[in-house]
Chain A
Amino acid sequence: MSALLEVDGLEVDYGTARALDGADLRVAAGEAVGVVGESGSGKSTLGAAIGRLLPRQAVVAAGTVRVAGEPVLDLPPAALRRLRRQRLGFVFQDPIASLDPTMRVGAQLRLVLRAHGRDGRESPGGRDGGRGGADVAFHLARVKLDDPRVAAAYPHQLSGGMAQRVAIALAMAASPELLVADEPTASLDSQVREEVLNVVFALARQAGTSIVWLSHDLPAVARRCDRVAVMYAGRVVESGPAADVLGDPVHPYTAALARSAPAVAVPGVRLEPVPGRPPVLTGPSPGCAFAPRCPFAEDRCATERPEPVRVGAKDVLCHRAAELEVIA
């Protein structure tokens, strides 16, 4: 069976800066995948590329993105819009800004539901013919917004958590096959975070929607996702089952990242920051981009680009993956 999402060798440049340097990602139907990496590792570019939502100045230098077999980057406009409407859903970082400030929440939801009606797709929960009032209430209740005042509110009158739940309701209204959530909780406080994530994952499970969750919160990703992909300098350096990747990392960068996460720290043991800084690429990296910071780097790491190596259930982008697996 082919995967729902297949990203192969994707390279994206912003002017002279390279955001993606040959990224690969696979997501199966119904699966939740966490994409983890530091700021600037290319997570957001990867997420945007899935829906061809890259900013205008972005240039795709190489690679393909397929959603349900359709080549996202080569589709004509009408087919691309149909793909976005029927198969994809997006949730963004800044919840209040991602809602139209001039429209009440209920009106925005009605507008989205109407668009799906035109596609001849039944959205779950309501078939009250024309007005869509019951539909709006249903879709808001699905994201645990039961207060009738929410539908009548403007986005700036909502809290960040409420606004993000509205955005989730909008994205999930059409029961997409794949939901891309780009740090959906980054701007929320920690208490609200869990509630919002609960809503996302419960809705997705119910609808059979796959999730690509872009995050830098390693432990949170490990708790909720089936698989994890770790990004570094525009490439996915290690991917596999969540427990394997975080509990038994092979790639030196993943290992360093796992050791630096505060939540997994044993009290009394110092956190180990990853030494050095992530690189800013201006073109394809000649070798492994992590080599300058890597304690295990050899000569060839600086000159030869590593190809994915299968280690157990994981794909690892490291010349020394096999040896390091033994060490770990």
Chain B
Amino acid sequence: MRLLLWWAGRALSSAVTLLGISVLIFAALRLMPGGFAETILGPFATPAQKAELAARYGLDQSVFAQYGHWLAAVGTGDFGTSMISRQPVAAELWARLPVTGRLTLFAVAAAVLAGVPLGVLTALRARPGGGGAAGRLLSGLGVSVPEFALGSLVVFVVSRYGLQTSGYLLPAAVLSIFAISATARTTRDAVLNVLVEPHVTAAVARGETPWFIVRHHILRNAAGPVLTLTAYLLGGALIVEYLFNLPGIGSYVVQAVGRRDYAVVQAGVLLAATVFIVMNVLIDLLVGLVDPRLGRRA
């Protein structure tokens, strides 16, 4: 019963969050200088031409009316049609999902397969007052250099020397650098926090081997923060695919922002927000399973 109530609460708060996001993005799009008509028709269009185009897409109505229409349509599963391509937005997004999904999966896999072991190893090797500085510096760089900066640099260097920029290798590498650094850092801190807990000392006192202690007494205890982080790895793919011109959801939505393709931006942002919220709920659930103390709080 309590669990059911918890789920109901989560669903309700998620719905409210999504509604709020839709209002924000709707308002932000309408506040951007240069509307759809100006962007499409260019600077030399007459007011009459603009008015005609706006009327065709219902943009002459009040913002509130537009939002109402849009929300009602979304309620029936209709996300509208792209004003540029005239295709249903849902189908367009769906077609681009595999590209983004593949990149994201790659980043998460890199984070788990390389970031977690790196974090555990550096935590176990950490000595007070020495060592680890190089690792911290590297992972600090990896975390703080934004993907768009690193990605632009890679694109520049590669194209400067006439190399091939297409394919998944480079964007996946750029994305992985962030994912691995962030995961290694978070894992390291989480493991260091667990290492000083009395139950680890108790395990050491029982004569257990370091590997046994890591496997049985540290990984589960340190998993919470690392799991939480994975939700934040999702955003990176959207930026990187735009930089490398991969036909994913991120590049589609960024292009749509430039062309004031309102329906596409609204649906894309809503989709991203939904994925983010669902991931967070799932991760909360997972964290509760891994650490029973947290599960009880639900």
Contact = CB atoms under 8 A, between A and B. Distances in A.
Are both chains from one complex?
yes
Interface of A: 51, 53, 56-57, 80-86, 88-90, 92, 94, 97-103, 111-112, 115, 154, 156, 167, 170-171
Given A111-B216, A156-B292, A97 B197 contact: yes
B17 interface: no
Interface SS, A side? mixed
Given A84-B207, A102-B291, A170-B202, A115 B128 contact: no
A82 B290 CA distance: 31
Interface in B145-171: none
Given A90-B206, A97-B199, A154-B293, 13 more contacts: A51-B205, A53-B205, A89-B205, A90-B202, A92-B202, A97-B197, A98-B198, A98-B199, A100-B217, A100-B221, A102-B220, A111-B216, A115-B212
B124 to A, nearest CB: 12
Interface residues of B, number: 24
Contacts of B24: none
A97 B203 CA distance: 12
A90 B206 CA distance: 8
A99 B205 CA distance: 12
Interface of B: 127-128, 197-199, 201-209, 212, 216-217, 220-221, 290-293, 296
A89 B202 CA distance: 9
A72 to B, nearest CB: 12
A207 B96 CA distance: 69
Nearest to B212: A115
Contact of A86 (B197, B207, B212): B207
Contact of B290 (A53, A94, A102, A171): A102
B127 A56 contact: yes
B206 A84 contact: yes
Contacts of B198: 92, 94, 97-98
A189 to B, nearest CB: 20
Contact of A57 (B128, B201, B204, B292): B128
Sorted from nearest, which 6 A-B pairs have the closest CB atoms?
A: A85-B207, A84-B207, A90-B205, A102-B220, A81-B207, A97-B198
Residue of B205, B212, B292 contacting most chain A CB atoms (<10 Å): B205
A87 to B, nearest CB: 9
Residue of B199, B204, B207 contacting most chain A CB atoms (<10 Å): B207
Contacts of B221: 100-102
A179 to B, nearest CB: 11
A82 B207 contact: yes
Contacts of B206: 84-85, 90, 112, 115, 170-171
Contact of A56 (B128, B207, B212): B128
A92 B201 contact: yes
Nearest to A57: B128
Contacts of B296: 156
A115 B208 contact: yes
A53 B206 CA distance: 11
A125 to B, nearest CB: 18
Contacts of B209: 81
B205 A154 contact: no
Nearest to A88: B205
B295 to A, nearest CB: 9
Nearest to A95: B198
A171 B198 CA distance: 14
A170 B203 CA distance: 10
Nearest to A83: B207
A65 to B, nearest CB: 14
